[in-house]
A and B are shown apart, each in its own frame.
Chain A
């Protein structure tokens, strides 16, 4: 028996972004016809490594061998030619193009579009039959659900005859049923002899589907092992470098009076599309209400309305008092005055001014606070002193108020935001994706802070796409789908499977295969959206 060459072999790959070393001397071998997982914390360098393999970034040093051949990959064109396809975490689709146009882009046959489109249409039909990858080739991509957009990305790679498929955090945007289906597709591809690299931070996915797994930490590859010979605890320790607490300790909830009451909340966005279609919910004192759901089903809009920067109709009460949902009294300032604090979903776009110093960011949103003023001028010294105190209490590193926000790591940036909001001792804390792009140490710390606010008798509304996070933090879980709350469950009395169905808009156990029911729901949602798009 002759030894087969590895499908992919990387030797000594290094890459720096300015002063930051993203990849340090990384070597890896992946055999053909296998699924190889790469796991690591946020910022460990997984995506950078794969972007180098796909020619998106250029490595500073190192060699790449594809199917045993030494290959240089200066750009994505070379990667495609070498049979590599990649599904990025943030899709690389042209939103106002059709599926067909997106598929042929860069892989057209000849100067004119007509023959290329006809050929691609045929190929898509074949691929759909072969791999459960059904999609309407004439749909405009921006009207598709994220799951279907991901499907377009996979089709793009297969249309280009990729033998090696890289997927970067593919399940973050999927319901559990869709994730299962994706894994079935990946298995099928593996059976066909294709090689798959799966980047993820979810241990369960690694255990479920991969043959081998590599662990990355701080730009270095710390281990490569056979999946069958390891377990989640060992992997977690390799990822973080120490034992990790995978569950949050908290006392049983003792809910008090209702703090937040929402009735019939509706939002129509600038394009005339209805994003919230009558939301009813309550959050009590001493309680964490988790909002689960796939991103883009109205959770962001809900937070924006409650945070005071999106107009809505309906009724919202805080401590029994009605709060304005439109007009001058409906903005972030008045919300904060009433005791609503908000850790937004995207700290880089919303929670922080990345070019502002840490101290300026600690005043952000609270810059009208009397303690921060001296006469008509701002009291910068007072803000800096306050910042130092908060940085110490929340263990922000480095504890330098004069450092710009962009120069902190993701976890420390998030700690600045959380410190600013929680230290106001709000009646209601709105939290969106509190641990997205945050290292495990900071995750533990932030989770503890949220729980201790609840234990101090405050109300917390938690939005997260991570079901694990919702299940471990929340007391009650409400699931959103297409602008509607599909159902509410006690966290202790439900599981991922049940929530997963609700996330796809299914309230009762269907009498057909689950994935068919999910597809039906998604298709109906897309049709609604396409119609509203006009």
Chain B
């Protein structure tokens, strides 16, 4: 018998974990001599009370949806892809190459091609660790971490030595052509009278991310491939028995994961900066881990958790702007969320299970 109803596991555990993380974060804020309530109000004010704030929140959420899905898909195949950061870095290169060297008549075509470029480059970067894990048993956690470092060095080299325009100082490509610029939320939702999402970077990629959530859900729970990925994730020995090739599933799941992580670059590189810069990922690859854990590796959960982290990211930027609290507070919150939802979840689950067991006894 299950010890606890499924909904409690899916909803209560992450919720309580989140509350614990919030309490600890508040203590950290008190510890550095600031007022957590005021800080929280400031975050809400800056991230949710104006359309521009939402424009940032959803912009960040878009990144986290892609990277969160990337981590979640790998989780379903029982792999821990810490390489989202590197895969997104390479995805950015894919976007830049597609947009710089092919003339596009319209942003929609450009977006389509850039999506392929981003996905392909992200997937390639995930392929090598996946192949090494499947064929040579090298631990994917360590190899993907290594590939993050290698990706950073590689992009640095490419930007400094190859793609930097003549005479430019900063390591970045030139601007992408006008025709490839994506419509922002401001472009889409402002009317003649009222301008919405002023100055905010949220753009059409957000909808792509929402579609990605849907597609991943379909893939995992309605297709044979998803069935095989999940089966493999639950039990490799059983998968082998059923004729599901571990090598094939490891590689495919990581290709999908890498492609999703790579697609994050659409939002940052084509959508926001409109050129490729160093460190465009801003740690979103890592936040994907927190998002996937918080969202219980379910695309809908990832969607919600991504928006939560979008809020935290934008709110944190506001804090750094108006108070003495550095942006690293977000890293701390992210760490606490990962800790409670991913590593200490039994600390939350065990007492809950006891409560439900007692309730059931009472009924019975």
Contacts and interface: CB of A to CB of B under 8 A. Distances in A.
B3 to A, nearest CB: 5
Interface string A355-374: 11000100111011000010
B235 A354 contact: yes
A365 B357 contact: no
Given A367-B227, A367-B228, A335 B235 contact: no
Interface string B327-364: 00000000000000000000000000100010010000
Interface string A374-387: 00111010000000
B242 A332 contact: yes
Contacts of B237: 346, 349-350
A352 B224 contact: no
A332 B1 contact: no
Contacts of B238: 349-353, 364
Interface in B231-253: 231, 234-235, 237-238, 240-245
Contacts, number: 76
Interface in A401-417: 404, 407
A18 interface: yes
Contacts of A351: 238, 241
A19 B243 contact: no
Interface residues of B, number: 24
Given A367-B228, A407-B1, A407-B2, A377 B223 contact: yes
B222 interface: yes
Contact of B245 (A331, A335, A350, A353): A331
B8 interface: no
B241 A309 contact: yes
Contacts of A352: 238
B28 to A, nearest CB: 36
A356 B231 contact: yes
Nearest to B240: A309
A338 B115 CA distance: 42
B243 A378 contact: no
Contacts of B360: 19
A365 B243 contact: yes
A36 interface: no
Contacts of A407: 1-2
A273 to B, nearest CB: 18
Considering residues B218, B228, B230, B241, which has the most beta carbons from chain A within 10 angstroms of its beta carbon? B241
B234 A336 contact: no
A368 B3 contact: no
A356 B3 contact: no
Contacts of B240: 309, 332, 350
A361 B320 CA distance: 52
Nearest to B235: A353
Interface in B196-245: 218, 222-224, 227-228, 230-231, 234-235, 237-238, 240-245
Nearest to A374: B222
A290 interface: no
B354 to A, nearest CB: 10
B357 A307 contact: no
B234 A335 contact: no
A55 B237 CA distance: 32
A309 B243 contact: yes
Interface string B43-81: 000000000000000000000000000000000000000
A20 B3 CA distance: 10
A245 B241 CA distance: 33
Contacts of A349: 235, 237-238
Interface string A16-31: 0011100000000000
A19 B1 contact: yes
A355 B241 contact: no
A452 to B, nearest CB: 24
A19 B224 contact: no
Nearest to A332: B243
A368 B242 CA distance: 11
Interface in B290-330: none
Contacts of B222: 377-378, 380
Contacts of B245: 331
A307 B241 contact: yes
Nearest to B232: A353
Interface in B1-37: 1-3
Contacts of A378: 222-224, 227
A19 B227 contact: no
A400 to B, nearest CB: 12
Contacts of B227: 360, 363, 367, 378
A348 B153 CA distance: 45
A32 interface: no
Contact of B3 (A18, A353, A360): A18
A350 B241 contact: yes
A448 interface: no
A136 interface: no
A147 interface: no
Contacts of B2: 404, 407
B135 to A, nearest CB: 13
Given A309-B243, A365-B241, A377 B1 contact: no
Considering residues A335, A365, A407, which has the most beta carbons from chain B within 10 angstroms of its beta carbon? A365
A191 B243 CA distance: 54
A18 B241 contact: no
A19 B231 contact: no
B218 to A, nearest CB: 7
A377 B224 CA distance: 7
A89 interface: no
A334 interface: yes
Contacts of A335: 243
B243 A336 contact: yes
A344 interface: yes
A342 interface: yes
A299 B240 CA distance: 17
B231 A334 contact: no
Contacts of B230: 353, 356
Nearest to B237: A349
Interface in B108-134: none
A333 interface: yes
B156 to A, nearest CB: 40
Nearest to B226: A378
Considering residues B1, B218, B222, B238, which has the most beta carbons from chain A within 10 angstroms of its beta carbon? B238
B243 to A, nearest CB: 3
A20 B1 contact: yes
Given A19-B360, A407-B2, A331 B243 contact: yes
Contact of A364 (B1, B231, B357): B231
A308 interface: yes
Given A377-B222, A404-B2, A364 B242 contact: yes
Contacts of B1: 18-20, 407
B234 A354 contact: yes
A406 to B, nearest CB: 9
Contacts of A363: 227
B248 to A, nearest CB: 10
B243 A333 contact: yes
Given A332-B243, A350-B237, 14 more contacts: A19-B1, A332-B241, A332-B244, A342-B241, A349-B238, A350-B235, A351-B238, A354-B234, A356-B230, A363-B227, A367-B242, A373-B224, A377-B223, A407-B2
What are the 3 closest A-B residue pairs judged by CB atoms, nearest first? Answer: A332-B243, A333-B243, A365-B242
11 contacts: A18-B353, A19-B360, A331-B243, A331-B245, A349-B238, A350-B238, A354-B235, A356-B230, A367-B228, A376-B223, A377-B218
Interface of A: 18-20, 307-309, 331-336, 342, 344, 346, 349-356, 360, 363-365, 367-368, 373, 376-378, 380, 404, 407
